[in-house]
Chain A
């Protein structure tokens, strides 16, 4: 079941209040997000990620196309009861304590005072700032503010959570803790829509990702699909002698990466098997053959550079 459906969403902004020139923030973006997924939205600065999130939450409106959440149009205010949102550069009233921030936004989410008393402590504890609940937030560090923002986004026990750079400014241990919280939410069947620059993190927790560049959708798929190369295989074998090495290098599009490891390009399964045949005839033991995987970061950089 799809929790989010985005159909040909286009967003054009005016360059100025009276300008007729338009900035194309999004162009015909379409994809779906299923229930219980952690979905990552990636892209360089100005790619349109935050604009897309704002359209999905109903903060701004699409110029063309439509988006649906829980099978209802995103302009329906009622669906927001099931949504949590942590914006980038969120700003809370500086004179509030952590507890008061949660209480204020909890009330705006429609929660009653009795529920809030229990939930405020629960979510501050989950995000690891329960000891700072009665401290004014102007004394909070950037990392603590992110944790508070996460608690605020979870306070109404939402089925879908949008997180815009949730680990921005958080130390590595804190990032791990936030990742654990997100994985725990996923295990409860919640859907998480993550907008992050930290690709290594996205790779660790996201089931699927979409890549945006200059308002255009470049790729959507599972992290495995996106990072796995189509036709490059990594062989790990017993030690290769010079004769075998040179034969593989000359006759097959290969590069040695170690004494017992090489990368080989095989466009068909027959080509791959012919390499295996050469090795087996020469008495080389094959330990493993696998498709080469790029890191999400490498793939992302290559993709963006190609398009630019």
Chain B
């Protein structure tokens, strides 16, 4: 009940601060570009190119396309965007006058943190489902090849985000600064990217 209240509260915050709108708008733009970009002739051309290179199946072509879209650089950009958009939840919660009210309620400190952590993860999971799910759907419909394995990427990206978000929360609690928390975590993410 309490966790649900926090999750609902963070969703309202994301709506009010237009975080959800930004996510949906940006992802819609990417999806539109994909729809416009991946024409039937593009798919045929890609298949012909792969055949010339010795890869002669449609499934390989689709897998190459999908893995290219979810390789390190797009992943880095996507998770960076999500970290930036969601990193203010914890420092905002910690602002004087608000945290005092939360701590005066019959809730443990752990629940307060876990509630906000889960809310951030749910927002990002839904965003990734929206973006990567629709990308997968479009490519699958265009090519006729349904690679369900690709959907695991949604969970992997969410997991990477969760690890980094826990770090955002930690540094947010220690520094009480959104900017510093973002910088530290982008540095961490950069280390993951280059490793």
A85 within 8 A of B: yes
B96 pairs with A59, CB closer than 8 A: no
Query: A83 interface residue, CB < 8 Å from B?
Result: yes
Cβ distance B114 to chain A, nearest Cβ, rounded Å? 14
Total interface residues in chain A, CB < 8 Å: 30
Instruction: Please encode chain A, from 80 to 111, with 1 for each CB lying within 8 Å of some chain B CB and 0 for all others.
Output: 11010101111111111000100011011110
Residue of B nearest to A59 (CB): B103
- B5-A77 in contact (CB<8A): no
Q: Are B103 and A108 in contact (CB under 8 A)?
A: no
8 tightest A-B contacts by CB?
A: A95-B16, A91-B97, A85-B104, A80-B106, A108-B105, A107-B5, A87-B100, A59-B103
The verdict on B141 contacting chain A, using a C-beta distance below 8 Å, is: no
Compute the total of residue contacts between A and B using a CB distance below 8 Å: 73
**Is B60 close to A, CB under 8 A?**
no
Q: Is there an interface contact between B101 and A77, defined as CB atoms closer than 8 Å?
A: no
CA distance A77 to B100 in the complex (A): 14
Beta-carbon contact of B97 and A77 below 8 Å: no
Interface size on B, residues (CB 8 A): 22
Q: Is the CB–CB distance between A77 and B104 below 8 Å? A: no
Question: Across the interface, which residues of A come within 8 angstroms of B97, CB to CB?
Answer: 87-91
Contacting pair A107 B95 (CB below 8 A): no
Contact of B102 among A54, A78, A88, A108 (CB under 8 A): A108
Q: A234 contacts the other chain (Cβ, under 8 Å)?
A: no
Q: Is A226 an interface residue (CB 8 A)?
A: no
Q: By CB atoms of chain A within 10 A, which of B16, B101, B108 has the most? A: B101
Give the residues in chain B near A81, CB-CB below 8 Å.
Answer: 106
Is B21 an interface position by the 8 A CB rule? no
Contact of A59 among B9, B12, B100 (CB under 8 A): B100
Among residues of A, the one whose C-beta sits closest to the C-beta of B106 is: A80
Determine how close the nearest CB of chain B comes to the CB of A188; give it in whole angstroms. Answer: 21
- Shortest CB–CB separation between residue B112 and chain A, in angstroms? 9
With the chains together, A91 CA to B94 CA distance in Å? 11
Is B98 on the interface with A (CB-CB < 8 A)?
yes
